[in-house]
Structure 1
Amino acid sequence: MTYGFVGLGQMGAPMARHLAGFGLTVHDTRAEAMAPLVEAGARAAASPAEVAAASTHVSVMVRDDDQVREVVTGLLPVAAPGTVVAIHSTIRAGTAADLAGRALPYGIEIVDAPVSGGFMGAQEGTLAVMAGGTDAAFARCERPFAAWAGLVLHMGPVGAGTRAKLARNLLHFASFAAAAEAQRLAEAAGVSLRKLGRVVRHSDAVTGGPGAIMLRPTTAPLDPDDPLYEIMRNVLALGHKDLDLALELAAELGVDTPLATLARARLATGLGLKQPDPTDPGREGGRR
């Protein structure tokens, strides 16, 4: 296989660099973005179409849906049948499926393969990639993806990778909002925000952070016989206790904590448990 890469921004450039020894052809609208890749052994192309003409696997990492559509539309008439086009941009859930339909008459396969792990992961070659596409297309992607990823998962048909990325990013940015709320509480309480940040990064690296509870194959309520049932009951008890204490402190300091209040109300159902009866002193998640 010969490889092409279109879009050499903050993420695309380090991803492409890991492929520079594989007969790589690259394109970006900025000549200065291509220069370091050329120095590393890649060939610069004047357009995405020129990349497609030289490659049997093309990665696309551009800004948004409009740019993805523009690039892929330009590739299709030029790429050879059997070419795989992997879209790494975070786009709308239906865009990849629509492009896959357009690519079908050309004998070209689309794989939506957004990534998670940020610039650091791209630089180190440890990104997580969530791929949507046929089994055959995914199999052809595993080798190039392995050059810059530490985790490569086939999530399902075209579009599944993007749907997974949108869910993952919902957690990512919602947690940023929660982190901001926690910082407001800490600041009002006279806590060093930088030291608190160090604690959060250290402990999340040990426990897995929010991902530590993402163990179930469904969000349906847990059966009491499920091995996870007692584990989640314990998580709920600790969560309710600690959230109650945080909310109590916030009330004392006059800090608005709407996300913590919402988390307290929804934690039980989120863990697959029944909402506790507030009148039952032995309730799930209540103080015993």
Structure 2
Amino acid sequence: MSEANRGAPEGALPRDSRMAVGFIGLGQMGAPMAGHLAGRGLVVYDTRPDAMAPLVKAGARAAKSVADVAAHAELVSIMVRDDDQVNEVGDEVLASARPGTVLAIHSTIRAKTAEDLAARARRYEIEVVDAPVSGGFMGASAGSLAVMVGGTDAAFERCREPFGAWADLVLHMGPVGAGTRTKLARNMLHFISFTAAAEAQRLAEASGVSLRKLGRVVRHTDAITGGAGSIMLRPTTAPLDPGDDLYDILCHTRDLGEKDLSLALQLADELGVDVPLARIARDRFGPGLGLPGDTDG
């Protein structure tokens, strides 16, 4: 027995740097993610045989069931639709996997679902990580996703290398559930920004501006500036100390933002366009940066 495996529970899987990986759920995201692992003894399962066929052609083995995947993989990744499916598939994995297996949940679910599954898994000496991803189908295809991992330090270290086959950014966010909480905050920003984009388009349309050209400008400049992520630099949302290195920078950002939002609101009033998100943003922009508003001193 190698030094790495000495003391492991009887029947436990070997701690090898090239983990045998299983992937369950080969939809729009799961299939391209699994595809980046196809040359390393990958075992795949989906209820649709046609979903497995391209991966088998690329070198993966098609499993006969969830239990078949669990019995042959050290890391079992699942990318299914919702909490109910995660519980169903997860419990099937627990019933068949050997001690030492890591079960990774990539679906976007409730944090408590992952926490409860992890609690059940401990009875089997199996580790659960919640590891939702961000970057969409494009990132999955390119192998450039971000993955936000919740779990123990040991489980994260075992997942880091195989996750790196399909992700450019692999971050340990904390204990089980932390990955999901991170994903929900990230997606809240994502979809609120879509609503804000619709509001901006209404203002542009009422102004006679080409929406397609506006879209080109937004995509071009966000690629340069980083968009909303460019101001997510602080470790806390508490008020910013005037001695902080970021204070003057964010004061400048606040002043520009409040000025430009005020101008946009004036234009909206002139055109009779309802822009409620812009009004909320104008009122909360400074405090959101940890600063007083420009009229608050």
Q: Superposed, which structure 2 residues align to 1:1-288 within 5 Å?
A: 1-277=19-295, 283=297
Structure 2 unmatched ranges of 5 or more = 1-18
- d(CA) in 2 for partners of 1:23, 1:172: 35
- Structure 1 runs, 4 residues or longer, greater than 2 Å off: 275-278
Matched residue type, 1:22? R
Give the drift of 1:183. Answer: 0.6
Equivalent pair of 2:143/2:165 in contact (CA under 8 Å):
yes
Structure 1 unmatched ranges of 5 or more = 284-288
- d(CA) in 2 for partners of 1:215, 1:7: 35
What's the secondary structure of 1:131's corresponding residue? Answer: strand
Give the structure-1-normalised TM-score.
Answer: 0.96
Equivalent pair of 2:35/2:55 in contact (CA under 8 Å):
yes
Instruction: Spell out, residue by residue over 1:222-249, the C-alpha distance to the aligned partner (whole angstroms, 9 max, x if none).
Output: 0000011111110110001100111111
Give the structure-2-normalised TM-score.
Answer: 0.93
Equivalent pair of 2:136/2:145 in contact (CA under 8 Å):
yes
Instruction: Spell out, residue by residue over 1:181-209, the C-alpha distance to the aligned partner (whole angstroms, 9 max, x if none).
Output: 00111111111111111111111111000
Identity of aligned residues (%): 72
Matched residue type, 1:170? M
- Cross-structure match for 1:286: none
- d(CA) in 2 for partners of 1:186, 1:117: 28
Equivalent pair of 2:109/2:180 in contact (CA under 8 Å):
yes
Matched residue type, 1:198? R
Instruction: Spell out, residue by residue over 1:78-100, the C-alpha distance to the aligned partner (whole angstroms, 9 max, x if none).
Output: 10100001100000021111100
